Amino acid sequence: MARALNLIVVGKLKDPHLEAVEADYLKRLSAPELLIHELKASAENKSTEGEAILRKVRELSQGGATHLIAMTEWGRRQTSVAFAEWTKGLIERPAKIFFLIAGAEGFSEEVLNSCQERISLSELTFPHKLARILLVEQLYRAQTIRSGHPYHN
């Protein structure tokens, strides 16, 4: 069972308002905890960012089993209730779980080919900083749905 979920993001939150919103949800998340790993955005290209993402996955997994999920507008869409059920299944896996959010240029083919799943938060396209906040909120919402908490109502 996953003790923590990992979110690898390209870029940093620099807006104190967004940081506060994220911190509030992270404080509430407990089943399991979400660890965020920020990577520096590359001025070169998405291939360089992709290499950094996969290097970070290798570093954090230490040779263990992994399950990589690309957060992309072209991924599978689902309701919040379905997302809660899906994350329940993820949490029960023995592999380390990694949600990935690319920089402004998107994912390299190498990263996309390394992912077991592609998930979409919406048919809309969001700046990666907002996608990050939306994912954290949806992970919290999924936790509340699974526990029967009224947040989702």
11-15, 64-68, 82-86, range with the lowest pLDDT: 11-15
pLDDT in tens, 80-132: 999 999 999 999 989 999 999 999 889 999 999 999 999 999 988 888 889 99
Q: Is 87 helix (H, G, I), strand (E, B) or coil?
A: helix
Distance between CA atoms of 58 and 53, rounded to whole angstroms? Answer: 9
Q: Which domains does the chain have, with CATH numbers?
A: 4-148 (3.40.1280.10)
Report residue 1's pLDDT band, with 50, 70 and 90 as the boundaries: low
Report the sign of the C-alpha dihedral through residues 95, 118, 104, 130, in that order: negative
